[in-house]
Homo-oligomer: A and B are copies of this chain.
Amino acid sequence: MFIVTILGNNSAVPSNGRHPTSQIVQVNNELYMIDCGEGTQMQLSAFEIKRNRIDHIFISHLHGDHFFGLIALLNTYSLLHRVQPLTIHCHEGLKEIIDVQLKHSGAILNFELLYNFLPNDDSVILQQKDVTISVVQLQHRIQCVGFIFKENPKDRKISKEKIDRYKIPISALLSLKKGFDYIDENGTIIDNQLLTQNALPSKSYAYISDTKYLPELAEKLKGIDLLYHEATFKKEDEVRAAETYHCTTIQAAKIAALAEVKKLMIGHFSAKYKEQHLDEMLTQAQEIFPNTILSLEGESYEV
């Protein structure tokens, strides 16, 4: 299971019923939060997401629409007696922002709050059981990164019928899944390929947060299964997009095409656009990259 749930798809300020940025990435039983705009904890409740299953929060950059909801979420975790540690993956300034608020409110969190400060280069920041998360550097008005979630290589699939035929003991199955050959007590080698089938492919999700148009990103996103790319503006607003270090629908779609991703999801819509504008934005992107979808709040998308 590898799905992305959208909690907020708006940029800058809440408007037209849309919320500032936040997403949940679920990989099997693990939940990860990306960005945490104001009201994210209410969105978690509204969409019945189990917030206690989140142990890692990734903040792409320190513009308010991507982190203003974090301190409130931390406060709520503490008031509701969270005990397990929580790690924030963020730029260093966020620690000062959290610390000063805890200090003045006299709050002591019940749980351990850990920080993993983001590097200045493109590198892996977290290795988990089922997924590996890395950053790519973007170009925005302040330091900003994207996050790539890549499933770890999966186990090869055991062929039950072959296992029975070759009388393979249960104790050997794990090493077979990992691709090792089977050696029986007499030293006879049975080739792994005879006993297993290829593993399912490892899927990948890339979250490209606020950035100016960066064609060189495409190389780093080659073959991504689901690419979320900000498309703050319609194509008509290309000048405004460039001024604010954002992208248009067309630019997001060009990146998707250059990177040959499987699917593109656009979001971070300018607060000025109403509901009906979003359909227009989708159409614009689809002219360049047909397999494009809108990120809609409360919806979950399979990677």
Contact = CB atoms under 8 A, between A and B. Distances in A.
Interface of A: 12-15, 38-39, 41-42, 45, 62-65, 68-69, 71-72, 75-76, 79-80, 91, 93-94, 96-97, 100-101, 103-107, 141-142, 271
Contact of A75 (B64, B103, B104): B64
Nearest to A69: B38
A104 B100 contact: no
Q: How many copies make up the complex?
A: 2
Given A13-B76, A64-B105, 9 more contacts: A12-B76, A13-B75, A38-B42, A38-B69, A39-B42, A62-B104, A62-B105, A68-B68, A94-B104
Contacts of A71: 64, 68
B142 A105 contact: yes
A250 to B, nearest CB: 24
B68 A72 contact: yes
Contacts of A64: 71-72, 75, 101, 105, 107
Given A68-B71, A75-B13, A97 B106 contact: no
Contact of A72 (B38, B62, B75, B101): B38
A-B residue pairs, 4 tightest by C-beta? A93-B104, A38-B72, A13-B76, A62-B104
Nearest to A94: B104
12 contacts: A12-B79, A14-B42, A14-B45, A38-B39, A38-B42, A64-B105, A68-B68, A79-B271, A96-B104, A97-B104, A105-B142, A106-B141
Contacts of A39: 38-39, 42
Contacts of A105: 62-64, 142
Given A72-B68, A76-B13, A97 B96 contact: no
